[in-house]
A = this chain, B = another copy of it.
Amino acid sequence: MSQDGAGIDLDTSLGYLLKEASSALRVAMEEVLRPLGMNVTHYSCLELLAQRPGLSNSDLARGAFVTRQTMNVLLQALERDGYVTRPAAAPVGKVLPTRLTPRGRRSLEKATVAVRSVEVRMLADMTDAERSAASRILRSMIRSLRADDA
C-alpha cells in the first residue's frame, strides 16, 4: 500500500510534510494574531510596509502571497481604519505607494512580538546548521517550483 507506484505515500512525501508544516505555522500564527484583531495576510502587509515603505498594492500582494485583488480589498479596509495611507492620485503611472501611519506602526509592534515568539518556538529544537540547511533547502524548492511553469 505504501510505495507501489499507485499513489503518493503521505507519510514520507515532502510535499505533504511541507503542507503540514505550513498549516501548523498558519494555525499558530492565527492563534496569537487573533487577539490583536489580525490575520496572517493583514500582518504580512503591515510588516512588508514597515520594511519597505512605499510598496504598491501589487508589490504587497506578491509579498504576502495573495492576488492583487485580495490585497486591494485589505488595503481599502486598512486605509479606512487609519492604519495606512495612499495618495489620492498616482504620482507616476497607476501605482499608489502605500505607507504605514503611526497607528499602523503601533499595531504592528504588538503583532511582531507575537509572531516572533511563534517563530522562536518553531525553531526551538533546531541547531544553527539545521537552520541554515532549512533555508537553503526551502529556497531550492521555491526555485524549482517556479521554474518553467509548464
Contacts and interface: CB of A to CB of B under 8 A. Distances in A.
Interface in A112-133: 112, 115-116, 118-119, 121-126, 130-131, 133
Contact of A19 (B17, B22, B131): B22
A7 interface: yes
A9 interface: yes
A109 B6 CA distance: 8
Interface residues of A, number: 61
A9 B47 CA distance: 9
A23 interface: yes
A29 B15 CA distance: 10
A48 interface: yes
Q: How many copies does the complex hold?
A: 2
Contact of A15 (B14, B25, B143): B25
A17 B112 CA distance: 17
Nearest to A108: B7
A50 B143 CA distance: 31
B125 A65 contact: no
Given A119-B15, A137-B134, A7 B144 contact: no
